[in-house]
Copies of this chain bind each other. A is one copy, B any other.
Amino acid sequence: MGRQREFDVEQALDAALCVFWRKGYEGTSYTDLTQATGVERPGLYSAFGNKEALFRQALERYYSHYLDYFPTALEQPTSREVVEQIFRGAAELHTRHPDRPGCLGIHGALAGSDDAEPIRQALIDARARGEAMLRDRLERAKEEGDLPDSANSAALAAYVMAVLHGMAVQAKAGCSRDVLEAVVDQALSTWPSNPSGRETQKTGAIKPLPLLY
């Protein structure tokens, strides 16, 4: 009962997400949000709660609608393919939208005033969850013989995340996709190969790449 909403909530959330993506949490004002969404301030509050709640919902949408390639990549048969798909997906996503390059999960709230501490922690936690998923996947690769027993899953996962974060920073600085892909090539060039020697897929991309091209 009562009057019905005149704006589409999902559409408004996506518009808000794009602003956060570009300006970060604290850099985004309600003036920005109302302009981007076409919804007046009280409308945003009634639909999403306060700014922090709105950002959290935007972040959730970001993971489900933009970072969806990540869980998909984890299903690849070999750790090499998992990591490569994650890297390639990031290079593509971070340069897909020229108006909002980089990654909301990184520069949504990296440094800022003390007020933004909860959001900063939320982003840290979200990234940590992704790293944990990757670590578990690499651990499984060890059990399957896809990675040598000597491999350190936690360190490898941290390394992959570091490269991803660095790519986000570079994308935000205006780097082209080509440069990001070159970074990926180098990052992948020494991925530990299958110790048992048995190939698990047709491309056989296990052998080390030649030195950058």
Contact = CB atoms under 8 A, between A and B. Distances in A.
Interface of A: 22-24, 26-29, 102, 106-108, 110-114, 116, 124, 127-128, 148, 150-152, 154-156, 158-159, 161-170, 172-175, 179, 182-183, 185-187, 189-190, 192, 208, 210-213
Contact of A112 (B24, B164, B187): B24
Given A112-B26, A150-B210, A158 B170 contact: yes
**Top 3 closest A-B pairs, CB basis?**
A162-B166, A24-B111, A166-B166
A12 to B, nearest CB: 21
B161 A162 contact: no
A87 to B, nearest CB: 11
A201 B210 CA distance: 25
A148 B164 CA distance: 27
Given A162-B166, A162-B167, A183 B155 contact: yes
Contacts of A168: 169
A151 B167 CA distance: 20
A79 to B, nearest CB: 12
